Structure 1
């Protein structure tokens, strides 16, 4: 038996052993906390429950103070490389918080629990493994943090390039859904003819439509491009 065959066989056995590893109660608790923290469940709670904002990603990120009447420290009227640098700098706190917390949650088994629970849901619909679940959930509040978590999965070899494109399609449709919906569309809530949660659910479902459409394109028009990816 050649060395390449042995290496492939050992890789498959290692993967099967990892998937078969028992997921404990602590891992599911860690996953539940991660879903609540990143999904925006505790975002802008009523006054009586405002303390729950301490367990919300967007609330913990906070915001920069204003400088000379500008909205943030970036100021007004910036352009070119300098403006781009300051904008990129403003993304660092959210990305670092998401990555740091993900490492802690991963240590307690949140990713393994996500893979076991979400694979039966995400695999048939989007064709991606359940381990991508936290990256998808994070995108509901922060496009930057969601992209950072996705990049981490790619760098660690846990998802393929085809998975990456499908995830990007899901994330691009209604990016930062919960955060943007309640911060921008809230000014129109009083004029809504339907309950506030209905448009939110519709947009959430359309994210899956976007992901499925991208997956269909990859399986048909661009199938050859991802055969060896």
Structure 2
């Protein structure tokens, strides 16, 4: 968990054009899920709607089928993720060329630094993590390999993402059968889960800080 990479700071970003801010706003809307339930054509500004869904094959559902097990089931499940990742990566590459990541660093740094101790450049991944753990984890990997975040910051961010991953999508989707027996309203439940994600990430942040302090004292 040592800080082995030189990272970028908002001081080195430079001037950000209007196009970069427009691209950032569009990306936040696309990844946030706020347009999911809107009528056409506005719901086209939602990533999950753009990804679409597979057609059905008889009673088996999609090509993945039902009742699969082991490596073969895992392989077919992986194939279902490819369209999501491919589309997201393509969109990210386009908006990155327009300067959206630099704009994200400037916008999110005052929020994410005190909240999680991570730089604002991962702001898009932070937004994406509310609806897609796959895209958020891929973007986190890219940021680390590009030297945007340190190993410690990556660890803290992964701790945030892993607990209650894709909190909005999974709460509404995969956990929908449990919602009728939950005493809290849906919005309150999501906020409740998000707060504990923040607490978990800061617990990891504290552990890393203590570990680094002990390592520095031992080296002195």
Q: 1:226 to 1:211 in 2, by over 3 A?
A: farther
Name which of 58, 65, 76 aligns with 1:75: 65
| C-alpha distance in 2 between matches for 1:185 and 1:17 | 38
Q: Answer with 75-84 or 208-217: which moved more.
A: 75-84
Tell me how far 1:208 sits from its aligned partner: 1.4
The structure with the larger Rg is 1
| C-alpha distance in 1 between matches for 2:128 and 2:67 | 31
Are 1:101 and 2:101 counterparts?
no
User: The residue matched to 2:173 in structure 1 has which SS?
Assistant: helix
RMSD (Å), alpha carbons: 2.6
Q: Deviations over 1:135-168 (max 9, x none)?
A: 1111111111111111111121211111111111
* 8 Å Cα contact 2:104/2:123 also seen in 1: yes
2:19 aligns with 26
Tell me how far 1:180 sits from its aligned partner: 1.5
Are 1:180 and 2:170 counterparts?
yes
Q: TM-score normalised to the size of structure 1?
A: 0.82
* 8 Å Cα contact 2:9/2:119 also seen in 1: no
Q: 1:60 to 1:225 in 2, by over 3 A?
A: farther
| C-alpha distance in 2 between matches for 1:80 and 1:196 | 34
1:218 aligns with 208
Q: 1:182 to 1:202 in 2, by over 3 A?
A: same
Are 1:151 and 2:144 counterparts?
no
Are 1:198 and 2:188 counterparts?
yes
Which fold has the larger relative contact order, with Cα–Cα distance below 8 Å and residues 6 or more apart in sequence?
Answer: 2
| C-alpha distance in 1 between matches for 2:183 and 2:40 | 27
1:5 aligns with none
1:115 aligns with 105
Paired residues, number: 212
* 8 Å Cα contact 2:108/2:120 also seen in 1: yes
Which structure dedicates a bigger proportion of its chain to helix?
Answer: 1
Structure 1 residue ranges without an equivalent (≥5): 1-10
2:130 aligns with 140
1:163 aligns with 153
